[in-house]
Amino acid sequence: MYDVDKLREYFPSTTVYKDPSVMAMFKSAKIEAFLRDWILKRKAGPDGRVENVDVLSEYVASIIPPRSEKERLQDEARSNGETRPFLAKVNISFNSSADYYCFEIPGLGFTYSHTIIEDYVWDRIKDELIGEAGGWGLVRLGYMPPEGNKKNGRFTLLDYKNFCPYEVNLDAFREARTHFEVEEWMGIILGAIDYNPDGFEREGWIDTDIWNAKHTMLTRLLPFIQPRINLIELAPQQTGKSYIFGKVGKYGWLLSGGSVSRTMLFLDRRAGARAKGLVTFNDFVAIDEVKSISFTNDKEMGGILKGYMEDGYTTVGGTRVDGDAGIIFLGNIAVEDMDASKDMLRELPDIFRDSALIQRIHGFVPGQFIPPLSPRMYISGWALNTEYFTEIMHLLRSPAETMRYRGFVEELVDVSSKSGDTSGREQDAIMRLCTAYLKLFFPHADSALIRDSKFKREFDKYCLQPAKRMQETVLKQMKIINPGMFGNTGFATYKVRYDI
């Protein structure tokens, strides 16, 4: 476990006490970790503990209404003119045919077709909404009755305030990181996402096994911190895949089972709708249970996915759709099948038998290293605030930050191949993964640090070698799927430059 006093010294306002019994209460109510920590920050005492669970429960029920409360909120808006403030995720869309903005609140069942944001409200709140096409915040709803010959009234968005309760300063975060060794930092990040760094040991495991389990758990965060990271993870059940991608942060989207359409991911082309798809306003879109996923049109979706995963944009019906969201595929397979030399994709839908699609995946997450979750793997005590840390990761995705860290990686990594013909996709994948790892483990990297020999050894262990293994697995799967094209394809050599 990391030094709690040291953690609180350098992160005095962004730590929270994570009590397993209180966390279990939030989990039973299906409340995401970032919302939980926002609430705990307001309701916990000076010692970080919740004194009255009943009061906390009442507050949670009032501030995060369940879907069953939709009718009550509708009546409140219609009868009183407005609702009380409540927490919700709001998505926005521009209705070009009617010239107004509308919104949806998926968790409560409010849809674009029955909502409107009046211009005077839009002008006041757009700076908080438009960058993300929506987001989590404190919301107040109103009601606009039918006018003239219109058939339906509309619910209005009267107010929206992002609920982040503190200033998130990257420079302060980077300075704080300088006070921790990388092993300590790994533990702190695990605590930030609710895991106990001392809970990964298993009988018969050696230090390397424990390190691989921790590192792989944190590899799941790469799409949180780096734009357009495409990953696939096929791992045993009960290893926390859905939790990381569905509950930890507010900037991603988890799709679980069922049918996935072009409209859902990219653009709704129906007249008057023009609703943006999930890739346009999320940091990542994780598609869970890929073995049971069906696509409404495999051929169309395969082409669109390949284009988007390669370039970050695609064209739908003549409309260009841009996004920074990574595409993540998640699925469960038996431990004995988790072997890069075997066909790990054989139980997946036919769309995954296309080597051109697999080639656009930057890495396989080695989920076989993560043990099934057990109670001792969950954090108990002071830890970095989940909401704060996910905000930091989101800020580190900016173009300026990404260019800065990618520049360091380009200086650090030497690439060569016997044939002299290194695959551009392969090299970009490794550089992209290394950039994400660098942000995660060494956010304080600068021109001086990257010339330090100790840092270079740590960069090799924490960033370069894992990135190589993840991309090598992609190549091995392409060889199995399409041996005629990739059977003789070699892998370049990637080494840390110790001479800079």
pTM of the model: 0.87
Indicate the helix (H) or strand (E) that contains 303: helix 298-311
Outline where DSSP puts E strands in 42-153: 86-95, 100-104, 115-116, 134-144
The pLDDT value recorded for residue 271 is 41
Which is nearest to 361 in space by CA: 185, 229, 215, 256? 229
What's the whole-number mean pLDDT along residues 217-239?
Answer: 95
- Distance separating alpha carbons of residues 103 and 106, to the nearest angstrom: 10
Q: Which CATH architecture has domain 221-364?
A: 3-Layer(aba) Sandwich (3.40)
The answer to whether the beta carbons of residues 322 and 279 sit under 8 Å apart is no
- Contacts of residue 469, Cβ cutoff 8 Å, sequence gap at least 6: 366
| 346 alpha-carbon distance from chain centroid | 27
Exposed e or buried b per residue across 399-410, where buried means at least 16 C-beta atoms within 10 angstroms of its C-beta = eebbebbbebbe
- Distance separating alpha carbons of residues 13 and 279, to the nearest angstrom: 33
The answer to whether the beta carbons of residues 432 and 221 sit under 8 Å apart is no
Q: Tens of pLDDT along 364-420?
A: 999 999 999 999 999 999 999 998 999 999 999 999 999 999 999 999 999 998 766
Token pair of 309, please?
């995963």
What does the chain come to in residues?
A: 500
Which is nearest to 129 in space by CA: 93, 95, 169? 93
**Predicted confidence (pLDDT) at residue 151 exceeds the cutoff of 80:** no
Token pair of 357, please?
């699609």
The pLDDT value recorded for residue 149 is 65
Token pair of 318, please?
């003549």
What's the whole-number mean pLDDT along residues 418-426?
Answer: 78
Strand partners, 378: 195
Residue 439 three-state SS: helix
Indicate the helix (H) or strand (E) that contains 307: helix 298-311
**Predicted confidence (pLDDT) at residue 273 exceeds the cutoff of 50:** no
Token pair of 421, please?
């013909």
Indicate the helix (H) or strand (E) that contains 326: strand 326-332
The pLDDT value recorded for residue 194 is 95
Which is nearest to 339 in space by CA: 371, 364, 363? 364
Which is nearest to 390 in space by CA: 34, 6, 48? 34
Q: 27 φ, ψ to 5°? A: -65, -40
Where do the structural domains in the chain lie, given as residue ranges?
A: 67-162, 221-364, 398-496
- Distance separating alpha carbons of residues 53 and 393, to the nearest angstrom: 31
Amino acid at site 159: D
The answer to whether the beta carbons of residues 322 and 282 sit under 8 Å apart is no
Strands 154-162 and 252-256: unpaired
Mean pLDDT, the chain, rounded, equals 90
- Distance separating alpha carbons of residues 229 and 209, to the nearest angstrom: 26
- Distance separating alpha carbons of residues 200 and 197, to the nearest angstrom: 6
Percent share of the chain, pLDDT over 70: 95
Q: How far is CA 415 from CA 200, 435, 460, 479, in A?
A: 34, 15, 14, 22
What's the whole-number mean pLDDT along residues 92-113?
Answer: 89
